Structure 1
Amino acid sequence: MGFPVMVALVVVLGALLVFWARTDRDATSAPRVGDHWHSAYDVYVCDTFRSKIVLETDPNGIHSHGDGLIHIHPFNKLASGRDAVLGEFFAAFGGFIDDQSFMLDTGETVVEGFDCGGEPAVLKVARFDADDLSREPEILTEDLANLRLLKNREAFTIAMVPESVDPPAPRAERLSFLDTVDPNLLQSDSPTLATTTTTAD
């Protein structure tokens, strides 16, 4: 084997090693299999909040329990790290989201462009910090299916609003319920949400 061939082989092996290391790092970045995060969400169309997602199917570990929260506890690598995305949440209940439309668990598809207060509606997703709603939200309009779920206790509003309007924060009851959820009461292999009810004296 000549020297040039050996050099080429070393270069190829080095490139493969870098690719493998990067892929493995992405697959093991948070949220990891075994993590259990919660984020509030709401759906807002023109000037009206929509109902909660109630279908609880979940092949990979990003879903809702019909409670107005996104439960993020990956069962496998398909919903962990860089694959923990908003599109995975929609896909779990049979819906979808792209940069112009989304489909809810009812089968309704909402497509931008309809009249909303005299202006065409556009699809925006607002990312809030549930622990500091005074901070300006991040408003996203592109690559929405791949919007990453970055940490515990985020809050999202998926909205169809005029270009000049920012989405509102999720409703107060969604954020209040987020404060009551105890991850230790959730069974990862079951769609049932166990809750504790406290009554006033």
Structure 2
Amino acid sequence: MDNKDKIRSAVAQFFKVPEAEVTEGFVFPAARLQGAVGRSALQAALKRIAGVDLAAAFTANTYGELVNAPGARPSSGAAVLAVGIDLENADNLPDAKDPWITSAEIAYCTRQADPRLSFCGLWCAKEAAMKCGPAFAGLSPKEIEITHDEDRRPGLCINNAAHQTGLSDWLVSISHAGRIAVAMCLLRPAASPAPAPGSAAPSSAQPDPTSRNG
């Protein structure tokens, strides 16, 4: 799905009309855009669903005006970075009856020195992912599974076939202090191009931002 299709989908969902009706001549229903609040809601929907921040959401009256506005298409070759962060007290976790965690996550957390704090870290990681970008929009916490490799570095696994895209580009970090857990989810920036033959390589590698605590 290209950027224009994502914007069309966002507009259709916001105005609750079939996507087929959202052509360049589609006029935005005025009742849904009353005042700055309505326009702000449209801008927020475009950010959440299409991943674009369009000032034209405050001025456009048709889909054509919106989709052809500056910023509707990302600049060619530009790196995109999305970040989500969440912090929580381990004593404020959701009720255990709420099915937000998978059996694999339960198995991991119960092996840790403080299982509740470990559960809290996973909850924060799921919340951070959902705040991070449109790739996670519409997913429930249980569909975003936090995994760990043999070195205890956290990662992401989406248990929803319709959202299996780009997971290798996402990084997760989890940390704890006292009864507080914090997690960050970010989109890995585009890799730098390989140096030309005969040019100097970078002098040092960047540290791995992922945490070894979960």
**Do the two structures share a fold, i.e. TM-score over 0.5?**
no
| Structure with the higher strand share, 1 or 2 | 1
What interval of TM-score do these two structures reach, taking the shorter chain for normalisation?
under 0.3
| Structure with the higher helix share, 1 or 2 | 2
Which structure ranks higher in relative contact order (CA pairs < 8 Å, sequence separation ≥ 6)? 1
* TM-score (ref. length: structure 2): 0.22
